[in-house]
Structure 1
Amino acid sequence: MATATHPGVTREPAAAGFDERRLARLAGYLDERVTSGRDRGSIVLVARRGELVHLSSHGTRDAEGRLPVEPDTIWRLYSMTKPVTSVAALMLWEEGLLSLSDPVERFLPSFAHMRVHRPGEDGSTVPAVEPIRIRHLLTHTAGLTVTGLADNAVNDAYRVAGIAALGEPEPYTLDELCERLAALPLLFEPGSAWNYSHATDVLGRIIEIAGGTRLDEFLAERVFEPLGMTDTGYRLPAGDRLAALYRRDPRTGRPELVRDPGVAAGELPTLITGGHGLLSTAHDYQRFVQMLARGGELDGERLLAPRTVELMAANHLPGNATMSAFSHPPARTAGIHEGRGFGFGVAPLLDPRSVCSLSSAGEYGWGGAAGTNFWVDPEKDLTVLFMTQVMPPPDDIWLALRRLVYQALVD
C-alpha cells in the first residue's frame, strides 16, 4: 500500500526550513520497507516550532493487509510508557510529595534491606551499601534488571521468581511485582552502573502511593485529560483500530504475526505498570511529545516547569558517561544508544560527531519494544514521532529516520 498523506499539516516544509524534495526521501524509505516485505505498517510525524510539517502513513495496520494505517490507529507503546511515567513522577516532585533523593523504602518498606549479587558460582550476595533512591529508578541505575535481558544469576532468579519476560503473560499486580523484585538480589550497587530494568515499574507503584490513586487513574487525570490524549490508556477501546503485532524472523528479516497476550478490548490488564502497557495513537502521543518540546506546557495546560523538563533531558550518569560506557553487564552493541547518556526516562545525545550523527547535541527521546520511537531536538526546535509494531526494536530504522529528517533540514 502506497504512502498516504493526511490533513493536519499546519506548516509548509519550506517555511519550516525543510527542503521538500529531500524530505520526500523519508516517505520513500518507509514505503520501500513495506513493499519489500520488511515492514507491514508505520506512521511518521515531523514538527518544527510546534507546527506539523510532515505526516505520512505507510502500509497496513492489520494482518490481512486490508486496513491502512491511520492517525487514529492504536499502537502498543511498550517502553515509550516510561517517559510518561517519568513525567508523572516529576510532577509529584514539583509538588513536594516526593524527593529525588528519597529511598524507595520510604514508600515501599520491603526495599529496606536490599542485597547485591556477588559474581561467582556460589550465587552469594552482600548487603547493599547505598539504598535505592527515586533518582536511581528514573535513571535505571537502581541495580534492577529484566527477565531474559542477559545470562547471569540475577536474571535467572527473576525467571525463578515468576517475573515474566517481554511478551509473556503477566498474571500479577504492580504491588505483587514490586514485592517480588524487593526479595531478589540487585545486579549491582545502586548508582554504580546503568542497566535497563523494572525500575520504572517500581516508580509507577511509588506514584500510586504518593499520588493517592491507582497509576492508570493518576495518568488519566493528571496527564492524558489535560493534554487531550483521549485515546491513550491501558484499556483497549472497542473497534478495529489496533495495529497487529509482528516479530521479525531472524533468518529472513520479515515480520511474522504474533499473538499478543496482553491486550483485550475493554479490559484492564492485571498488571498496570509504569514501564510498559500503555496504548496510544500517533495523534495522542504527538501531544505528549509537543508538551515536552514546549517546556512542559501545551495549549495552556502546564504539566511541568521548563527547568524541570531541562533537568529531565539532561544526562544524569556520573562523569557525563554514556549508557554504553556505564552499562552493566557491558553493552554488547551500542546501536541507537551509542553516544547517549540517560536522564529521567529519556536518553540525551551527548556528542553527535563522535557517533557520526546529524542530530544536535541534547536531542533526547526513547523508543518501545515494537519499534515506536520519538525524539525532541531543543536546539532545532524539532520533534519526530514514529509508530510501527515489529519486534525487536529496529535500530536500523531509528538511525535512518534521524538521517533522513536532518538531511532535509536546510535552515
Structure 2
Amino acid sequence: MRGMTGDAGLHGAGGMDRSLAVEIATLGSTAGRVAAVAVLKVEAEPGEVGFDPDRLTRIDAHFQRYVDDGRLAGWSIAVARRGRVAHLSHYGRRDLEAGLPVESDTLWRIYSMTKPITSVAALMLYEQGALELTDPVSRYIPSFADLRVYEAGSALKPATVPAIEPVRVWHLLTHTAGLTYGFHHAHPVDEMYRARGFEFGAPRGMDLATACDAWAALPLLFQPGTEWNYSVATDVLGRVVEVASRQSLDVFLAERILGPLGMTETAFSVPPEDLDRLAALYSPNPTGGLIRNKALAEAITRPPSILSGGGGLVSTLADYHRFTQMLAGGGELDGERLLGPRTLRYATQNHLPGNADLDVFGRPIFAESAFAGVGFGLGFSVVVDPLAGKVLTSPGEFAWGGLASTSFYVDPVEDVTAVFMTQLMPSSTYRIRPQLRALVAQALVD
C-alpha cells in the first residue's frame, strides 16, 4: 500500500482529467520503491459512451443527501461503460470524528466483496485442472467427510441425520452446501455457530484450517444442493484454494489475481503507515445519526489469524474497479488474462436447480442481494428476471456486495459496471444498491 493525497468534497466526471486507469506512482518514502498502482480517473465524456451527463448528476445529488442528513458518513462511486470510466465522484467524510474527507485513495473494508475474488481463484484452479466443480470438499479438507444434517431439536440437543450427498466444490461456490453464519439468528445451527465463537469472526488464535474443521463438526442446515443459505462457504472455498494450490490464500491472491490486475492496495490488513487512509466503520444510531463501530473496525488493522476468503479484504475504489473491468472484459484486463471468457460466462449463469431464484430456493435471511428475480452463479448473484425484482437492470447482470454497504455490479447487456464504496453496517439498512442501479440505468440514452 502507499500514501496519496486527494481532493476533499464532491468530485464529478466533469472535474476529472482523462487518463489511463493504472499509472506508475511512487510509494511513500518509507518504502523507497516504485510500483504499479491503480489510479482511477475519468476516461470518457458521458456522451461518448451513451450517458446523458445531466442525468448522471442525479447519482451524486441522490447520495449526497445520504450524507447531508446523517445516514452515511461518506462514499465513492465509479461508473464505467465499454471499459471507460464515465463518472467518478467522492463525497463526505471517511472519518467523521477526525473530520477527514473521502479521497481517491481511501481504504474501505469490502467484507463479502472478497467472495467474488476468492471464487475467481477457485475457477482459475478449475481451469488448470487442479480441482473439479464436482469434487467432494473432503478431498481437500478431510473433516468434511461423513457430515451430519440438522433435522430437529434445539442448539443444545439437535437431532441429526447423515448427509446423503457430499458437500462439493460447486456447493461452496453457490452457497448450497448447508453451511451458515452465526449472525443470522434464524436457526438453531446459527446458535451453535455463535456458541463456538463464530458470529462476526472466529475464536482468537484459530486459523483457516482449524476453523473449517470446526464448521465441519457442526450440523448442516439442509442436505447439500437442496437449498440456498448465505454462509461461510466461501471461507471454506478459500481453504480449498490453499490445499489445491499449495499456497496460503493471501499469497495465491497476491500472485495470481491482485498483482496481475494492479490491485496493490487490496490486502487482508492495513499496515500502520496507511491507517490514516482507512475509513471509519459506522452503524445507524437509533436516535439519529451514526455510531462508530470500534470493535469490528479494528480487526483489519492487524494481520488476521484467519485468512477469510469470504470477508477479509480491504480495498480502494480504484482497485475494485480494476476487478470489475476484468470481469466485464471476459476474464482479461490490460493483457492479463485470469479466466477464459467461456469460464466466466458459465460462472455468471444461474446455477440454482430449475433456474429458480433466491426467493424460491433461498432461506428468508439477510444476504448481500435481493431475492426476487435473482439467482446465483459460481460466486456471484445473477439477475434472471428484472421484472420480478422490480429493479431497473438487465437479465444476466451479476454482482455482490459487502456487510458495510459496499457493492458492485456488472451489466453485460449494457456493458456497464458500477462500484459503490461506503462504511455502514449492516448493508440492509438502506436500499442503496437498487437505487444505484436505477440511477445509472436512467442516465443511459443511446
- Short-chain TM bin: over 0.9
Determine if contact 1:117/1:123 at 8 Å carries over to the other structure: yes
Moved more, 181-190 or 393-402: 393-402
Aligned residue number for residue 280 of structure 2: 244
Determine if contact 2:197/2:203 at 8 Å carries over to the other structure: no
Correspondence list, 1:322-333, <5 A: 322-328=357-363, 330-331=364-365
Aligned residue number for residue 159 of structure 1: 194
SS at match of 1:336: coil
Cα distance in 1 for residues equivalent to 2:430 and 2:373: 14
Aligned residue number for residue 342 of structure 2: 307
Query: How much has 1:119 moved relative to structure 2?
Result: 2.4
Aligned residue number for residue 397 of structure 1: 432
Q: Which amino acid aligns with 1:367?
A: G
Aligned residue number for residue 364 of structure 1: 398
Aligned residue number for residue 256 of structure 1: 291
Moved more, 386-395 or 85-94: 386-395
SS at match of 2:135: coil
Given the superposition, is the C-alpha separation of residues 168 and 92 from structure 1 closer, same or farther in structure 2, using an over 3 Å criterion? closer
Aligned residue number for residue 4 of structure 1: 11
Given the superposition, is the C-alpha separation of residues 301 and 397 from structure 1 closer, same or farther in structure 2, using an over 3 Å criterion? same
Query: How much has 1:224 moved relative to structure 2?
Result: 0.6
Given the superposition, is the C-alpha separation of residues 260 and 162 from structure 1 closer, same or farther in structure 2, using an over 3 Å criterion? closer
Are 2:234 and 1:227 equivalent residues in the alignment? no
**For residues 209-260 of structure 1, what are the alpha-carbon distances to aligned partners after superposition, in whole Å with 9 as ceiling and x for unaligned?**
00111000100000011000110111203231000000123x3453211114
Determine if contact 1:335/1:395 at 8 Å carries over to the other structure: no
Aligned residue number for residue 60 of structure 1: 93
**TM-score, normalised by the number of residues in structure 2:** 0.88
**For residues 355-401 of structure 1, what are the alpha-carbon distances to aligned partners after superposition, in whole Å with 9 as ceiling and x for unaligned?**
22210111110000001000000000000000000001044111111
Cα distance in 2 for residues equivalent to 1:371 and 1:264: 18
Q: Percent identity?
A: 51
Correspondence list, 1:184-203, <5 A: 184-203=218-237
Are 2:117 and 1:78 equivalent residues in the alignment? no
Are 2:345 and 1:338 equivalent residues in the alignment? no
SS at match of 1:148: helix
SS at match of 2:259: helix
SS at match of 1:102: coil
Are 2:383 and 1:376 equivalent residues in the alignment? no
* 2:160 maps to which of 125, 140, 165: 125
* 2:352 maps to which of 308, 317, 336: 317
SS at match of 1:47: strand
Cα distance in 2 for residues equivalent to 1:169 and 1:391: 21
Given the superposition, is the C-alpha separation of residues 167 and 24 from structure 1 closer, same or farther in structure 2, using an over 3 Å criterion? farther
Consecutive unaligned residues in structure 1, runs of 5 or more: none
**For residues 324-377 of structure 1, what are the alpha-carbon distances to aligned partners after superposition, in whole Å with 9 as ceiling and x for unaligned?**
21113x358997333100011110111112222210111110000001000000
Aligned residue number for residue 51 of structure 2: 18
* 2:123 maps to which of 70, 86, 90: 90
Aligned residue number for residue 147 of structure 2: 114
**For residues 177-206 of structure 1, what are the alpha-carbon distances to aligned partners after superposition, in whole Å with 9 as ceiling and x for unaligned?**
101001110000000000000000000001
Cα distance in 2 for residues equivalent to 1:31 and 1:167: 32
Cα distance in 2 for residues equivalent to 1:298 and 1:211: 23
SS at match of 2:94: coil
Cα distance in 2 for residues equivalent to 1:102 and 1:168: 27
Moved more, 67-76 or 146-155: 146-155
Cα distance in 2 for residues equivalent to 1:55 and 1:332: 30
Determine if contact 1:169/1:261 at 8 Å carries over to the other structure: no
Cα distance in 1 for residues equivalent to 2:201 and 2:149: 27
Aligned residue number for residue 181 of structure 1: 215
Q: What is the count of residue pairs matched by the alignment?
A: 408
Determine if contact 2:369/2:401 at 8 Å carries over to the other structure: no
SS at match of 1:337: coil
Cα distance in 1 for residues equivalent to 2:152 and 2:328: 43
Given the superposition, is the C-alpha separation of residues 144 and 326 from structure 1 closer, same or farther in structure 2, using an over 3 Å criterion? same
Moved more, 256-265 or 59-68: 256-265
Q: Which amino acid aligns with 1:20?
A: P
Cα distance in 2 for residues equivalent to 1:146 and 1:156: 9
Q: Which amino acid aligns with 1:15?
A: E
Name the Cα RMSD after superposition. 1.8
* 1:51 maps to which of 76, 79, 84: 84
Cα distance in 2 for residues equivalent to 1:185 and 1:193: 15
Given the superposition, is the C-alpha separation of residues 17 and 169 from structure 1 closer, same or farther in structure 2, using an over 3 Å criterion? farther
Consecutive unaligned residues in structure 2, runs of 5 or more: 1-7, 18-40
Moved more, 236-245 or 80-89: 236-245
Determine if contact 1:376/1:384 at 8 Å carries over to the other structure: yes
**For residues 108-131 of structure 1, what are the alpha-carbon distances to aligned partners after superposition, in whole Å with 9 as ceiling and x for unaligned?**
111110000002455210000000
Determine if contact 1:170/1:271 at 8 Å carries over to the other structure: no
Query: How much has 1:171 moved relative to structure 2?
Result: 3.8
Query: How much has 1:151 moved relative to structure 2?
Result: 3.0
Cα distance in 2 for residues equivalent to 1:335 and 1:266: 28
**TM-score, normalised by the number of residues in structure 1:** 0.95
Cα distance in 2 for residues equivalent to 1:134 and 1:335: 22
Aligned residue number for residue 355 of structure 1: 389
Cα distance in 1 for residues equivalent to 2:45 and 2:246: 45
Given the superposition, is the C-alpha separation of residues 75 and 335 from structure 1 closer, same or farther in structure 2, using an over 3 Å criterion? closer
**For residues 104-154 of structure 1, what are the alpha-carbon distances to aligned partners after superposition, in whole Å with 9 as ceiling and x for unaligned?**
010111111000000245521000000000000000000000102133221
Determine if contact 2:257/2:338 at 8 Å carries over to the other structure: yes
Aligned residue number for residue 23 of structure 2: none
Q: Which amino acid aligns with 1:205?
A: R
Aligned residue number for residue 148 of structure 1: 183
